[in-house]
Structure 1
């Protein structure tokens, strides 16, 4: 039962932001979990189309460290993943999550062959596809739109920051303007849009991170993922850090910034994530990120202490 002291409308508990669990529960009326997959795609920022080496923070697995084994067929990965997840949630339903690398970076015929078995499978509630703004041509968007007749389809765009100077420094490979163009084309469809933001990128201030959150909150999107930069072994940024360490956000600074970001995001936007997971054996810094549950708990406590909630800063702007 929602606590009477919680002023946030999209909540069944003490959360003062629009959680992913809340959305899924009210959308599908049961527990829905993601099964992460690796379809063995590449990335235009790795093969030379727009860059080489990938983003400087990205691991060799293309941010799919928790995904399946690319040597296995995607449906095999899915079956193994769903078996593991149902040990925790026996009555839960699955969402297929194409996580590793850029999952629309292939000819349309290959994309259809990859996605179609999941689109047609009745027991899969939804599909999430992680990709980049520069890898969504109109024909791909048209195909994915056609899939929405059968499934809820989420497109996850790894933006990280609205600031082009930061994106260039981390070898992102496309501009904020490219991202905005793709958002406008996706907005004409029934596809759900989730945008990734990364806090503590080199040389960004907390104010810049909050500005990124406020800017994307004004766009026609449906969800946001926020997480802290992880410095990982065998990445360019990780190697640079080992040679010459640079300042990163403290746990307290991160919690403060996330709360401020939530305050400038409209309450209707779903918050799919507020912290991430780094493979512990590969994590260089910051080590405080491994205590994920305590970070989430302290975000809740800070919002309650300040009596703030998602979107409250926008509400105060309206009443001025």
Structure 2
């Protein structure tokens, strides 16, 4: 193993990445910008993603519905732990945060810099919502501050993406990443393990694709079923399989072994409010997941990138 691999975790953790990238410890705070998604409003479909109930993804948004500036100020004031950080990133989290006119995006993004400790923004979005006009806005901010986009890919199979009603293709993702990188914008990618019709082989193969594209971060998430999602009914009918915990730990280890060590691992597990989560009921959090994946890598005597095959 070698830097930036964490010697105990055996993978490149996000805190270390931010420390190097921003010159000191940094934390993220989540806000809601009030946008929707193109597969909800008719642009690319209706109904949203099969697995999605956005209420389950916004636990970190403390003051939804308020102006962005007010959300930022109140979140910082209400979190004692944030006082230890002089560098904060504002994370535009729920829905698709580049699905709006450029002028509105400009106002919304710049509103995040209302506090002197905010040094950058992280924009959760989709590959089909990063056109040139959006990238113009992000590039303008990136000249002055840190900017990252977190792109939801979820699967490298177009059939799987169609089945979960994503409304975009893998090719759109393959075009969006280099377009953002050329503008000086960092890119992180979301993937989900266990989607209906997907395979472990596909999940692991995505590590090579992301490595070749040169992204900066990755978020891994297991399929879970939440109440109010379009996945709830087929799950209750016994038509949906969710992964076992040990299976997912092993799949994450497989993935990390093939992931470029320069790519930061932002997350290894997804969470949902207990009252909304139907399955799987693992009772595991981020720290436990990181510990168990690290233990599996140690058992194998491997680490992030140890089985990576360089592109020829």
Match of 2:71? 77
Aligned residues: 309
Distance 2:98 2:83 in 1: 32
Match of 2:185 among 187, 191, 194: 191
- Give the C-alpha shift of residue 289 in structure 1: 5.1
The 8 Å contact of residues 217 and 265 in structure 2, kept in 1 or not, is answered as yes
Task: Quickly say closer, same or farther: Cα 1:279–1:290, change in 2 above 3 A.
Answer: farther
Question: Is this contact kept in 1: 2:271–2:285, CA < 8 A?
Answer: no
- Kindly indicate whether residue 83 of structure 2 is the aligned counterpart of residue 90 of structure 1: yes
Residues 8 and 309, structure 1, Cα contact 8 Å, conserved in 2: no
- 1:35 aligned counterpart, secondary structure: strand
Mapped pair 1:152 → 2:167: no
Give the Cα–Cα distance (whole angstroms) in 2 for the partners of residues 27 and 220 of structure 1. 15
The answer to whether the aligner puts 1:39 opposite 2:54 as a matched pair is: no
Residues 62 and 101 in structure 1, CA contact (< 8 A), matched pair in contact too: no
Q: Distance in 1 between matches of 2:181 and 2:88?
A: 25
Structure 1: give runs of 5+ residues left out of the alignment: 1-6
Aligned-pair CA distance for 1:292: 3.4
**Shift in Å, 1:120:** 6.8
Structure 1 SS opposite 2:282: helix
TM-score (norm 1): 0.91
- Picking from 141, 145, 158, the partner of 1:164 is 158
Is residue 288 from structure 1 mapped to residue 298 from structure 2 by the alignment? no
Q: Post-superposition shift, 1:65?
A: 4.2
Distance 1:23 1:174, change over 3 A: same
Supply the distance in 1 between the matched residues of 2:285 and 2:279 (Cα, whole angstroms): 13
Secondary structure of the corresponding residue to residue 236 of structure 1: coil
Q: How much does 1:119 deviate?
A: 4.4
Query: Which shifted more, 171-180 or 215-224?
Result: 215-224
Q: Provide the C-alpha distance between the structure 2 equivalents of 1:25 and 1:59, rounded to a whole number of angstroms.
A: 33
Report if aligned partners of 1:267, 1:311 keep a CA contact under 8 Å in 2: yes
Deviation of 1:43 (Å): 0.9
C-alpha distance in 1, partners of 2:12/2:286?
Answer: 18
Q: What TM-score comes out, normalization by structure 2 length? A: 0.93
Tell me the residue number matched to 1:248: 242
Task: Compute the displacement of 1:22 (Å).
Answer: 0.8
Give the Cα–Cα distance (whole angstroms) in 1 for the partners of residues 11 and 54 of structure 2: 33
Partner of 1:298: 292
Classify the secondary structure of the residue corresponding to 2:168: coil
C-alpha distance in 1 between matches for 2:6 and 2:261: 14
Q: Which blocks of at least 5 consecutive residues in structure 2 are unaligned?
A: none
CA 1:71–1:125 in 2, change beyond 3 Å: closer, same or farther? same
Cα shift at 1:136: 1.3
RMSD: 1.8
Counterparts of 1:274 and 1:105 in 2: how far apart (Å)?
Answer: 26
| Aligned-pair CA distance for 1:100 | 0.9
Distance 2:242 2:30 in 1: 29
For residues 301 and 201 of structure 2, the distance between their equivalents in structure 1, rounded to whole angstroms, comes to 21
How big is the shift at 1:245?
A: 4.3
Q: In 1, are the aligned partners of 2:249 and 2:292 still within 8 Å (CA)?
A: yes
The whole-number CA distance in structure 1 between the counterparts of 2:74 and 2:249 is: 35
Farther-moved stretch of structure 1 (59-68 vs 232-241) = 59-68
- Write the distance in 1 (CA, Å) between the matches of 2:59 and 2:82: 22
Equivalent-residue separation in structure 1 for 2:296 and 2:106 (angstroms): 45
